[in-house]
Structure formats: C-alpha cells, structure tokens
Amino acid sequence: MELNFTGTDICAVNGTSSAPEAHYELVVVGAGPSGVAAAIDAAKAGKKVLLVDENPVSGALMGNDVPLYFGGRMTAATQNSERMLEAIFMSMPELETAMEAGVELLLGTTAWGVYRNGPGVASLPEQVVGLADSERSWLIGFDHITLATGARDLAMAFPGWNQPGVMGAAALQMLLTRYDAFAGRRILVLGSHDLAVETALLAQARGVEVTGLVEVRGAPQASAELLAKLAETGIPIHCGTAITSAKGGIDGVESATLANGQEIACDTICAAIGLVPSIELVDTMHGARTLNAARGGYVPLGEATVSAVGDCAGLADNGFDHVAYRMEWMQALTNISADDTVICQCEEVTRADLIGVQPPNYLSRPAPMCARSLNTLLQDGPANPDQIKRLTRAGMGVCQGRRCRDQVAMLLALEAGKPFGTIPLASHRAPVRPLPLKIMADWNEPEAMSAAWDVWFGIPTQWVPVEDLGTQYEEDHRQMLYTGMYE
Amino acid sequence: MSGSEVVIVGGGVTGLSAGWWLARSGVKVTVLDKFIVGWEASGRNGGGASHYQSPLFDEEQRMWPQMDELLGYPTEHQKERIIIAMTERQWEQYRFVAERHHRLGHPVEVLDVKQVQEAVPLAGDNCFGGVHYKFGGHANPQRSVQAYAWALQDLGGTIEQHSPVTGFETAGGKVTAVKTATATYGCDAVVVAAGPQIPQLMAQFGIDIPLAPARAEMIITEPAPMMPIGGVDGHKLYGRQTMRGNLAYGGGPHEWIDVDATGPKDRPSTPLMRNLASRLAELLPKAAHLNIIRSWAGVIENSPDGRPIIDRLTSPDNVVVASMSGVGFGLSPASGHAIRDLVIDGACSFADIDILKLSRFDNLESDWREKRGWMPIS
C-alpha cells in the first residue's frame, strides 16, 4: 500500500486539547485561614484571584471519607448542602472579607488535578487546574497556584476499625466546629500528643463525653500546657497500651478493648495519632516534595509558580517527630492484632495478604502464588508501594487510598526493616477526589479532537490482517477505518 | 541450547514472556530491567488479547486460555469481547469488521441493541448495535507481567531489577556479555526488548531501529456490577471491566515525545481524562454516575508501519530484537514463543513472521518521523 504522508498526524493531541475557560493570576486551593489570607493579600495587591474550596462536599462523598476521615459519624444535617454552605460562611467571616477584597470565591468546588508541561508532556496550552462542582468539570489557567489544602487524617488499622464510628481527629474537629453535625456522644481518643489533647478538649467543650485517651508510649506526649488543661477535666490517659479491637453492632462502634485488658464503652473511636499534609495536587503536577518528620510527612518544596501555605506546607514544627510516633503505633498495633486484620477497607486487603503480596480473594491462589511474599519480592529489589498495590489491590479502592496509603507505607517499612523514608510514596493520581464520569466529562470537546479521535494511533497499516495484505481488502480497510491521516 | 545462557534486556511483558519460553526450554535466563518489571507500557495498557491483524494471532488465541495454569499465577484472563457502535458511522465500520471476521473464519455475531444490553447491562438504548467477538479476550496487565516474572524465576531464571543496561561486549561477531553499571553478564545470546530504549541500545551495534515513542492515557472508575462480558470496546475506546468490576478505558489522542537511553523521565496524564470520561459515559450510560478514581499515562514506541519488529540480526548474529510497536501485551504469549524460536532455532516454528523483519525498513527515508508528523511538540 502506497501512503503519502502529510507531515501532520491529526490523531496526535497537538493543539486539540480543550482550552481553559478563564485565566487567573492566582488560584488558591483551600479556603481555610491560610488560603483565605493568601487570597486576600493577593487581591489587595491588585491581582485577579480565584479561591476554591471543595467544602461542603456532598453527604455521599463524606460517607466515603472525603476529604477527611468522617467514619460515618455525621448527622443527617450534612445531607443538606444549603445548610452546610451557610455553616461555612457562619464559621468563617473572613470569607466575606475576601469577597469584598475582590477575590472570586467558589465553594463546593473541587480542584482535582493540576497540569503543566514538563518531561513527557508539551501539549498543554498553559498550566491549568481542573475544577469540578456538582454539575460539571472545567479548566482554569493560572500564573501562580497556592495550595492551602490542609492536612488529612492518618488512619490506623486495628480489628474492628472498618465500621462506622472509627474516625479521624480533623474530621471530628470539622464536624464539631464548622458544621455542628457530629453524631457521636461518647468518644475514645487514640494518641496523646497535641492533636489528641486538643481534640479531646474541644469535644468535651462541645458536650461530648470523652472517656479517655490511649497512648502507646509510656508517658503522655502533649505539651505541658495542654496536659495541665486536660488534667483539670479529669479525662484519663491510658499510657503504655494500645487498642486491640473495637466491638460494635449495626450502628457501628459500641466499645473498645485495650491491650491492658480494659474495655471502654464508647460509640466513637477518634484516631488522633497524626495528620498528613494534603499533597495530592503537588504529586499530580509532579511537583517537588520532601519528607519532613517534624512537619507531619511529605511536604511541598515550593517552586516559582507553586506555593503551599498552612498545614499543606507542613504541620507546625514543635520538635515532635511525627513519623517515629506513627511507626511506634503501627508496630504496636501490628504486634497485638491478628494477621487477618483488614488494612485496605475498600478492597478488603488483610495485613497477611498485603505482606504476602497475595491477590484479592476472587482470584485463585495456586501453590506457587502462596509461596510468594514480600520477602521473595524484596529479593528482586526494594519495596515499592505502587508495585505492591497492583498485586494486592491495597489502596486501589474508591477512597483512593486516603485510609490506607500511609499505613501500607509504614507496614512495608517495618516488614522490610527499613526506615520509613526509604520506601517511596505510593503515587497520587488525578482526579485526587472521586468524580463521576458524567461530571468529569468534557461535553464541549473541540471539533478537531472529535474529528480525529482514533481508538489507537490511527496508523492505517497497523490493524490490517496479514491475510489481507496486498489484496483489495487492504485498501477497503483503509477507506473504511481511517480518515485524514494520510492522503 | 539447554544449559546456555541468554540475557534479556528489558523486563516488559515481551522480554519476560521470551524469558519464560526460553526457561521452559532449559535455557538459563537473566532478565535485566532498568526499574521494576512491567513498569512501563506493559503494566499500563488495556489488557486486550484479540489481535487478528498479527501473524501471531493464532498462537495468541491458543495460549491465553492456558496461561494461568502454565504460569502458575493468576492473570485474570477472560474470554471474548464486544464492540459497541455509538454512531451510524461506527456501526458501518464495526459491521465491516464483522464481515471481515466472517471471511477470515473468526467467530463473530452481530448484535442488536437488546442483545448488546443483555451482554453489557451498562450499555444503553443510545447504541446502534454491537459485534460479539467469540474469540479473544483480556487479562490484567500488571498481574500477568508479574506472573511471567515469577514463573520465569520458578524455572530457575533470574530477574535483576534496577539494572539498566549500559553496553555490550562482542567478540567474533557475537555478543559475549551484557553490561550494567555494576555487573557484567556473560551470555550465549541476547534479546533486546527494551521498548522505547531499543534504538539507543542497538545504535551501539551501528544498527538503526526506527521507533518513535509516544504517550497515551487511560482512566479507571470505581467498581460496577459484573457484566456477563467484560471486554467491551467501541465508540473508539478500548478497555475492559476488571474482575473487581472497575471500568478501565483508553483511546484518543497520543502525544509524540522523545525518550533518551535512560527511559521516560515521566509519564504524566493530562485533562484528556475529561474526553475519555465523556466517551465512556456515552458508551456505557448506566455507568455515567460511577466515579473515576485514577488516570495514568504510559509510553509506547511505534514502528513506521505500526507493526512489531521481531528479528534476529545477522551481525552480531546472536541478538534478537523485539518491539511490539504499541501492541505488545495481548500478543505476549505468542511473541515470547517466536523470540524463543529465533534465539534457539533461528526461525519461528509456528507462524510466518517475515513481515516483522527489520529489513522491511531498509529503504526507509531518514525523515520518516517528520513525514508522518510523529515529532515531539517543540
């Protein structure tokens, strides 16, 4: 078959991508105190600023622990998006200040990816952030992006953690303060450093009964000032022990059992062991980051057109080694819980299957498969969470690894006998929040892309059956299945 | 050749399958990979296994149903596919393809809308009809790649990850050793199956392998209820429902890039996810509410005619070069067999693969990439 090439591959993406709908000098993602302050400063300096925040997220998404680990302990009030929106404005008067300063504010709007040209991609018209609300998705171009995405809860697996009523400290604080929508009455707090004590004090102040704190180390970890406040309340700290299980019924948690044998009645177990800076968007734009144990985990390094503020840039450094603390908790929970403890809730992956690099239970496990494990895999090279998630499915579920990503990394480090920071971080991929196909869809696709869309590369010689080569069928194939790429 | 040593450069699905086939013949195999097995296109594709355009098709079809048992590890292989037409033009095109399969003796059935929905409950009334391929199928690329690697090890083969190849030692018209930064691996024969890095490696022998790398993208949703047939293509998308229920789909524009000897620097996805989403929502409207939970990109290399290059060189004469030109996963059980035959016997025993010889590009113009518009965006 003679082909006359045009010098242009119309099936390539060159220039056919959707353009951003608008361009801002600054986009700020996250309307917490740091994000709002950054937006106001820029607007006052005369910049065109867009401030977006995903909250209020829908009740359904909160049920999926987006963006925080709510553990199903929201009241029905969170189903009412107008009430939620009002609650946000009530709790954050500075939002009004921002709007008065000229900041364009979009609440209920998720930033699901940030994209720019770099190694492997040169086709983007400019650097863009992908946004979505409950109706649609769109792209916004920017000169500078400020990430004020906060920090998310670090979840920790123990027998019974996969039921309603096990939640994170940041989620509990959000439900108590912003929304007044916490459905629990009697909580047990895991951890005793500042986050845990602050959460316990807040809960008690809001009328929630705090049955105690559980500390894996031999002594409480919070500042003397916070511990003094806690002592005034009489809330006990159970030191040198950890949770062995949570029992529950149809409504979730009913009690917790500690390693020291004590059983504590409670409807909510609040994991306040740590917060992890929310760097998902940094990863989607292949931004630079570094592990900083004193600031809660991996933090953005910052670049000319990217900054991070607030907890996203790292937790306040007060000398506490968050990574060492988490690893102690993980080691203790691993020591006292059975191997069949579920680590990945979405995909129901147990610790035994994770460490055994075994496939999900809908696949067979012939003898050679059963003989494989993390140890055999480590003989091929260092542990890689992405490789292990492909094999075990841990972290591959609808929560996008928010609940288990950090735990998997910690378990791999413990099992491989390596420091936490030597195990690569499992990759974050866009969209950084689960988004329905119909919302993500580009329903106004450029004509040039639609016209040239091919299932694969549009190479007319690639799919002709060998039997048909050199026959009329070869030409028929080209006429029927290809358009425009070649004359 | 039992007892001889073969080094395979590249632990993608093609190199691993070749290694597995060679190990089954008693050859001592060492696979060298720059990073982790199946990390590039081999672990990032749609998992399809229905490549009727290839001289390796019959072997592909023969092997896949046996692979779980032969490898000893699950591949998630599932039989059959359905292609659904969403426009009048696609309906015309897909029926053309169906007629061709009839003519070539591949079992297919043309389905009306109701029949499509019976086999693919997530399909809607918005389709024109479909074609049921009662051959072919799909498997899980990531699980299959690891299955090859483990099966190869079970047969005594060695896999060296994080071991990019830096060069070769030759003597008497043969490669005698393959070198990495830290080690030298003596060998009786070499298979170069290093994807986009093949041209740089083969340039060390003064041999020009015409391959152009490009980046392509996929998306995956949360799980949907399992459908009777999970291998569903159409609307110019390719993909599958995984055995977990997720819908994994790709298609559409690619971006030509350059890749140096160390491999792709990165594999970024782009907002093309939105265009994949709209097409998938149209193809499977009853899945339109499902959440997308990930997207990714992979780098594949293409030959000038889009067909694989599987050939044993004349000098040095113990080197087999293999690029599957962007369509390697599904054909892997057969490509590995062909490579094994070329290494051991000098010729493929089960198919005429002359069409895959490198010599077909002997008269290729030096500006073949420019002519095709296959150049990176500058």
> Is B238 part of any domain?
yes
Determine which helix (DSSP H) or strand (DSSP E) holds A474, and give its type and residue range: helix A472-481
Structural domains counted in chain A: 3
Q: Which two tokens stand for residue A436?
A: 């329905």
- CA gyration radius, chain A: 26
Residues A112 and A91 in one domain: yes
Report yes or no: B77 at the A interface, CB cutoff 8 Å: no
List the single best residue of B274, B305, B350, B354 to mutate versus A (max A Cβ within 10 A).
B274
The pLDDT, as a whole number, for residue A483 is 62
Is there a contact between B297 and A455 if contact means CB atoms under 8 Å apart? no
Single residue among B234, B267, B302 that ends a domain in this structure: B302
- pLDDT of A482 reads 80
Contact B123/B283 with Cβ under 8 angstroms?
yes
Question: How far does the CA of residue B172 sit from the closest CA of chain A (Å)?
Answer: 33
Assess whether A226 and A326 both reside in one domain.
Answer: yes
- In chain A, which residue's Cα lies nearest the Cα of B143? A391
Distance of CA B231 to the CA centre of its chain: 16
Tell me what pLDDT residue B249 has.
98
Contact: B371, A473; criterion CB under 8 Å: no
Query: Does A285 share its domain with A350?
Result: no
Instruction: Show pLDDT as tens, one digit a residue, over chain B (378 residues).
Output: 557 799 999 999 999 999 999 999 999 999 999 999 999 999 999 999 999 999 999 999 999 999 999 999 999 999 999 999 999 999 999 999 999 999 999 999 999 999 999 999 999 999 999 999 999 999 999 999 999 999 999 999 999 999 999 999 999 999 999 999 999 999 999 999 999 999 999 999 999 999 999 999 999 999 999 999 999 999 999 999 999 999 999 999 999 999 999 999 999 999 999 999 999 999 999 999 999 999 999 999 999 999 999 999 999 999 999 999 999 999 999 999 999 999 999 999 999 999 999 999 999 999 999 999 999 998
Whether residue B149 is found in the same domain as residue B234: no
Q: Is the peptide bond before A424 cis (omega within 30 degrees of 0)?
A: no
For A254-267, how does the pLDDT look when each residue is reduced to its tens digit (9 = 90+)?
A: 999 999 999 999 99
Residue B151 located in a structural domain: yes
pLDDT for residue A272: 98
- Is residue B223 domain-shared with residue B115, that is, in the same domain? yes
A265 domain-assigned: yes
Q: Is the CB of residue B309 less than 8 Å away from at least one CB of chain A?
A: no
Q: Which two tokens stand for residue B254?
A: 């690619």
Measure B9 CA to nearest chain A CA, in Å.
Answer: 16
Residue A257: C-alpha distances to residues A43, A167, A238, A270, A473 (Å): 52, 16, 12, 14, 73
The answer to whether residues A237 and A213 touch, using CB atoms and an 8 Å cutoff, is yes
Give alpha helix (H) positions in chain B. Answer: 13-24, 57-63, 67-71, 88-104, 113-119, 141-154, 198-202, 273-283, 332-344, 368-372
Q: Which residues of A315-325 are buried (b: 16+ CB within 10 A; e: fewer)?
A: beeeebebbeb
Separation between Cα atoms, residue A422 and residue B216, nearest integer Å: 30
Beta carbons of A119 and B275 less than 8 Å apart: no
The 8-class DSSP code of residue A67 comes to S
Contact (Cβ atoms closer than 8 angstroms) between residue B187 and residue B6: yes
Residue A162 within any structural domain of the chain: no
Choosing from A401, A422, A443, the residue where a domain stops is A422
Contacts of A443 in chain B (CB under 8 A): 278
The dihedral sign for the CA sequence A36, A40, A41, A47: positive
Residue A345 sits in the same domain as residue A253: yes
Which residues fall within 8 angstroms of residue B320, CB to CB, at 6 or more apart? B18, B189, B190, B191, B192, B310, B311, B312, B313, B339, B342, B343
ipTM score here? 0.97
- The confidence score (pLDDT) of residue B2 equals 59
CATH of the domain at B249: 3.30.9.10
pLDDT of residue B1: 57
Point out the residue among B253, B291, B327 whose CB comes nearest to the CB of A16.
B253
Nearest residue of B to residue A115 by CA position? Answer: B270
Same domain for B279 and B250: yes
Whose CA is closest to B67, among B245, B350, B331, B368?
Answer: B331
What is the pLDDT averaged over residues A421-449?
95
Residue A15 pLDDT greater than 90, yes or no: no
pLDDT, one tens digit per residue, over A400-413 is 999 999 999 999 99
Mean pLDDT to the nearest integer, A190-197: 98
What is the C-alpha end-to-end distance of chain A, expressed in Å?
A: 12
Mean pLDDT, rounded, for A196-220: 98
- Residue A367 is assigned to a structural domain of this protein: yes
Q: Are residues B145 and B172 in the same domain?
A: yes
Strand partners, A152: A276
Q: Are A388 and A394 in contact (CB under 8 A)?
A: yes
- Is residue B1 within 8 angstroms of chain A, CB to CB? no
Buried b (16+ CB within 10 A) or exposed e, A62-95: bbbbbbbbbbbbbeebbeeeeebeebbeeebeeb
Q: According to the model, what pLDDT value does residue B4 have?
A: 79
Distance from CA of B348 to the nearest CA of A (A): 16
How many domains does chain B contain in total? 2
Q: Rounded mean pLDDT of chain A?
A: 95
Show the domain range for B61.
5-73+141-210+305-362
The CATH number assigned to the domain holding B32 equals 3.50.50.60
pTM above 0.90, yes or no: yes
Tell me whether residue A444 is in a domain. Answer: no
Q: With an 8 Å Cβ cutoff, are B275 and A445 in contact?
A: yes
- Judgement on whether residues A135 and A174 belong to the same structural domain of the protein: no
Of A287, A313, A339, which residue sits at a domain end? A313
Give the nearest partner residue to A7 out of B265, B271, B371, using CB atoms. Answer: B371
Output the pLDDT for position A2. Answer: 59
Amino acid at B47: G
Asked if residue B117 is part of any domain, the answer here is yes
Q: What is the mean pLDDT of residues A371-386?
A: 93
* Same-domain check for residues A249 and A103: no
Query: Which of A283, A349, A437, A473 best probes binding to B when mutated, by most B CB atoms within 10 angstroms?
Result: A437
Q: Is B105 near chain A, with CB under 8 Å?
A: no
Give CA–CA dist A239/A260, Å, rounded. 10
Looking at beta carbons, which pairs linking B69-73 to residues 24 or more positions away fall under 8 Å? Answer: B70/B151, B71/B20, B71/B147, B71/B148, B71/B150, B71/B151, B72/A366, B72/A367, B72/A368, B72/A369, B72/B147, B72/B150, B72/B151, B72/B154, B73/A366, B73/A368, B73/A369, B73/B143, B73/B146, B73/B147, B73/B150, B73/B151
Kind and range of the H or E element at A90? helix A81-91
Closest-CA distance, B35 to chain A, in angstroms, reads 9
Which sign, positive or negative, has the C-alpha torsion A222, A226, A231, A235? negative
B172 vs A: CB within 8 A: no
CA A242 to CA B194: how far, in whole Å? Answer: 50
Residues B216, B240, single domain; the answer is yes
How many helices, marked H, and strands, marked E, lie in chain A? 17, 22
Identify from B226, B270, B360 which residue to disrupt to test chain A contact, counting A C-beta atoms within 10 A and taking the largest count.
B270
Confidence of residue A460 (pLDDT cuts 50, 70, 90): confident
B156 and B279 share one domain: no
Residue A75 shares a structural domain with residue A132: yes
Please report whether residue B378 resides in a domain. Answer: no
The residue from B302, B320, B338 where one domain ends is B302
- Whether A437 is in a domain gets the answer no
Per-residue pLDDT, B131: 98
Handedness of CA A175, A179, A180, A184 (dihedral sign): negative
Which residues in B lie closer than 8 A to residue A480 (C-beta atoms)?
92-93, 96
Task: Give the dihedral sign, CA A184/A187/A191/A197.
Answer: positive
Side chain identity, residue A80: N
The share of chain A scoring above pLDDT 70, in percent, equals 98
The Cα angle at residue A205 between residues A202 and A211, in degrees rounded to 5: 80
Is B100 within the bounds of a domain? Answer: yes
Nearest residue to A230 via CA among A287, A268, A264, A191: A191
Q: Residue A271's beta-bridge partner residues?
A: A168, A190
CB contact under 8 A, B326 and A456: yes
* Domain final position from B283, B302, B321: B302
On whether both B172 and B94 belong to a single domain, the answer is no
The single-letter DSSP state of residue B48 is B
Domain that holds residue A205: 167-272+320-422
The answer as to whether A438 is a domain residue is no
Percentage of chain A exceeding pLDDT 90: 92
Using a CB–CB cutoff of 8 Å, tell me whether B277 touches chain A.
Answer: yes
Same domain, B87 and B158: no
Domain membership flag for residue B376: no
- Same domain? For A247 and A379 the reply is yes
Residues B149 and B284 in one domain: no
Question: Which residue among A431, A455, A462 sits closest to B251, beta carbon to beta carbon?
Answer: A455
Alpha helix stretches (DSSP H) within A343-470? 351-355, 367-370, 374-378, 385-392, 405-416, 437-440, 447-452
* B358: closest CA of chain A, how far (Å): 16
Of the candidates B143, B256, B281, which has its C-beta nearest A359's C-beta?
B143
Q: Do A194 and A101 share a domain, yes or no?
A: no
Residues A47 and A140 grouped into a single domain: yes
A156 pLDDT more than 70: yes
Work out how many CB contacts closer than 8 A connect A with B. 254
Q: Is the pLDDT of residue A487 over 50?
A: no
CA–CA distance, A165 with A376 (Å, rounded to integer)? 37
Q: What is the CATH number of the domain that holds A194?
A: 3.50.50.60
Please indicate, yes or no, whether residues B82 and B170 belong to a single structural domain of this protein: no
Q: Are residues A191 and A205 in the same domain?
A: yes
Residue A219 within any structural domain of the chain: yes
How far is the C-alpha of A318 from the C-alpha of A295, rounded, in Å?
A: 8
Same domain for B131 and B227, yes or no, is: yes
Co-location of B44 and B103 in the same domain: no
pLDDT tens-digit readout, A269-308: 999 999 999 999 999 999 999 999 999 999 999 899 999 9
Q: Are both A126 and A228 inside the same structural domain?
A: no
Looking at residue A486, what is its pLDDT? 47
